[in-house]
Structure 1
Amino acid sequence: MTVFCQEAHPERYDLGGAEVVRPDVGGLLPVFVLDRYEGYDVKLVQDCTRAELDDWVAANAATLRDRLPVDLVFCNHVLLGGAVGAAAGAPYAIKAHGSELEYSMRGRPELEAWGRQVLDGAESVFVGSAHIRAVLEEVCGHVGRVHEVPPGVDVDDWRPRPRAEALAALVEEARLDPPNPGNASERLPDEGNADRLASFLTGDQAIVVYFGKLLLNKGVHLLLEVLGDVEARAVIVGFGDYRAQLEQLADPDRVLFTGPLEHRHLVQLLPLADACVVPSIFPEAFGMVAAEAAATGCPPLVARHSGLAEIADGLEAEYPPELRHLTSFAKGDVGDLRDKLLALLALSGSEREAIRAAARRAAVERWSWTGVAERLLAASRFN
């Protein structure tokens, strides 16, 4: 397998031995959400001219054609990945995401029409949830050959761990973090996380975790509002342009902001948590962070809407009937979040063990890499 991408440091990621190719795109990086990327002129897809987009697609397709023939090109995003696949001249499949559909394509007729065109030529189309399947049809019209396959979790890495072992490993991983004086880089973990985490996570008080982008639409402010009525501490993991406002809302004695953490940290942090709250107020294609938390035995509590509702459904199928209401809360409803979180943290020891085991079971049976790979292969033209 060969991975084509614009990642500047692919060596930081475990790609299972795949070769990585980084096409020369002339420095332009079209995105769906503005962010900073070293060495690139970053523009929203919808703010690029069609000539700029066509040139970007052509540059990627030319590099891809140098590697032909291939059995299949698996394209990430309808635009611009699907357009690259169509231009390369090889059989291609498309994985559609909410990001391009909601942030860039919806309501923009030229991009919607371009999306329909590249979808029509695809061998197959994959979506991560029924929610995204519906959004795809709203934006691009009816699409055939669509397969619902959720993202996958490495359940061998994301797994329950004894508390002492997990805490010691988390602190050790934090000591390996690169220097970040004054937290000058938002893309690196905060300076001094090892000692801060060791101190914050010591003791018997319940721990709640949020990890993801620190944006308004992620709803982290709802969790911080609830914490005033809940006997718990919170670890807030991530970066984004809303961090400063969130820090102003938080009680620094009860809330620890860590900056972004990598999987090597998170697989140790989640087993230490009593709950993982996913309070998004904007539609989500899927609840990847909730699935990862569940795999570690940490019970997710998700806002019940869009792709997150499907995570709640999967958890409910495994939870004891009397605890199924603790998988989710109404979107944006601070009172419901407060009540559910209080109930979750008040569970008896035996109830807590039951819900942890059920969350783990749901992740293994529904969202494991093995299961997802089998579903992808079953839906491909090779089976």
Structure 2
Amino acid sequence: MEIVMVHGYFLRGTGSNLFVANTCRELCKLGHQVKLFCQEEKPQLFDFIETAWDFDRHNHNITIVYQQATPYPGKCQLYRPNLNGFLPVYVYDNYPGYVVKTYSDCTPAEIEAYIEDNRRALDAVVDPGRTALVLSNHSIMQPVYVARSRLGHCRHVMTVHGSCLNFSVRHSLLLKEYAREALANAEWVVFISQYSRLEFLAFFDNDPSLYAKSLVIPGGVDLKNFISLNGSSEKQAEIDGLLARLAAPPLIAGQPSAATALWQTDEDVVRKLGRIDFTDEKIILYYGKYLWTKGVQLLIAAAPLMLMKNHRLRIILVGFGSSRDYFETLIKALDQGDLAPLSH
């Protein structure tokens, strides 16, 4: 089966990025042929990507930029539309090589130009007659340019991710109309949880037609990555292996900053992790994006109370995002007993 996966961003870091990467890998394992449209610039990091192609500035012609043998019966071709350096997002972050604006700050002309760049890319490569299924992500704008492309009459399943609704569509009547355009074209609207489904339906006034074609498909767990360890010796072996991989030169790239890539590893990460007693300490781990909506600040604020009751407790925060500086300032203020920096 030939499947087109439409994702306007990358394959690392955020929940929707990881969702798309893992879904494409599983589709390839099942023997499907996948055409993946996204902005991922490092295809060599993904074992399921057979070839990667870049578009010219008009999104009419493509040039192969990467090729490798893959271990799966199905093959994935990655196509990177040329956005002419402009990337609209739901939550602001710095992405090197792009002028980044949140959708709420974009002009209608900028939004239409972005949609048109991606529509041209789709129409230049895909064959609706051979496409059995289109999988789009978020409620704007990926399913919008699917609807406007030659794929508009293909079977279309749209997966909703929370950041799009809560940071963009909820705050703009224009973006809500784009979402309605996308929803009208999708045959099914998929949610990762029942909570997100009900939240989305409520925002669209519990529209009966939307209710009828919405369903929940949990993201699941990759049991090859998330496994139970038998005893402290197995745990220590895993930790030692992790530290060895992190110490490898390609991964240590300095402290992240606004001017550098988002997924660089902190240069002192091995030293920090080496101080942790994973056998005897009680670990609370946060893994995700650094956003206030995730509640990280609540965990930090509660840390002194928890540490008073359990001196062997350690809280580990792993992630990236624009709120990192704020969270580090909050930690420093609590540690020094001086809340003045938080007032600025």
Alignment TM-score, normalising by the size of structure 2? 0.67
Unaligned runs of 5+ in 1: 255-383
**What displacement does 1:95 show?**
0.8
SS of aligned partner of 1:200: coil
Residue 200 (structure 1) aligns with: 276
Name 1:13's counterpart in structure 2: 46
1:61-109 alpha-carbon deviations (Å, 9 max, x no partner): 2221222121121111111011011011321221112211111111422
The partner residue of 1:169 within 237, 241, 250 is 241
User: Would you say the 8 A contact 1:98–1:135 is kept in 2?
Assistant: no
Q: Pick from 71, 74, 82 the counterpart of residue 132 of structure 2.
A: 71
Which protein is richer in helix relative to its size?
1
Alignment of 1:239-258 (within 5 A): 239-250=320-331
Structure showing the higher strand proportion among its residues: 2
Structure 2 segments unaligned to the other structure (5+ residues): 1-33, 50-74, 336-344
Offset of residue 128 of structure 1: 1.2
Q: Check conservation: 2:88, 2:100, Cα contact below 8 A.
A: yes
Instruction: Give distance in 1, aligned partners of 2:43 and 2:182.
Output: 28
What is the aligned partner in structure 1 of residue 70 from structure 2? none
Question: What is the alpha-carbon root mean square deviation over aligned residues?
Answer: 2.4
Do structure 1's residue 225 and structure 2's residue 306 form an aligned pair?
Answer: no
Q: Superposed, which structure 2 residues align to 1:121-136 within 5 Å? A: 121-136=185-200
Query: AA paired with 2:106?
Result: C
TM-score by length of structure 1 reads 0.61
Task: Report matched runs for 1:214-293 at 5 Å.
Answer: 214-228=290-304, 229=308, 230-231=310-311, 232-250=313-331
The equivalent of 1:31 in structure 2 is 89
Given that residues 283 and 314 in structure 2 are in contact (C-alpha distance below 8 angstroms), is that contact kept between their aligned partners in structure 1?
yes
CA deviations over 1:240-283 (Å, ceiling 9, x no partner)? 3333343344479x9xxxxxxxxxxxxxxxxxxxxxxxxxxxxx
Give the drift of 1:182: 5.0
Report the residue type matching 1:38 in the other structure.
P
Question: How many residues are treated as equivalent by the alignment?
Answer: 253
- Per the TM alignment, residue 14 of structure 1 is displaced from its structure 2 partner at its CA by 4.1
Percent identity of the aligned residues? 29
Which SS does the other structure have where 1:112 is aligned? helix
- Equivalent in the alignment of 1:260: none
The 5-angstrom pairing of residues 295-306 of structure 1 reads: none
In structure 1, what is the Cα distance between the partners aligned to 2:96 and 2:286? 27
1:87-166 → structure 2 map (5 Å cutoff):
87-90=148-151, 91=154, 92-141=156-205, 142=207, 143=210, 144-161=212-229, 162-166=234-238
Q: Does 1:179 align with 2:240?
A: no
**Residues 218-237 of structure 1: CA deviation (Å, up to 9, x unaligned):** 22232233332233012211
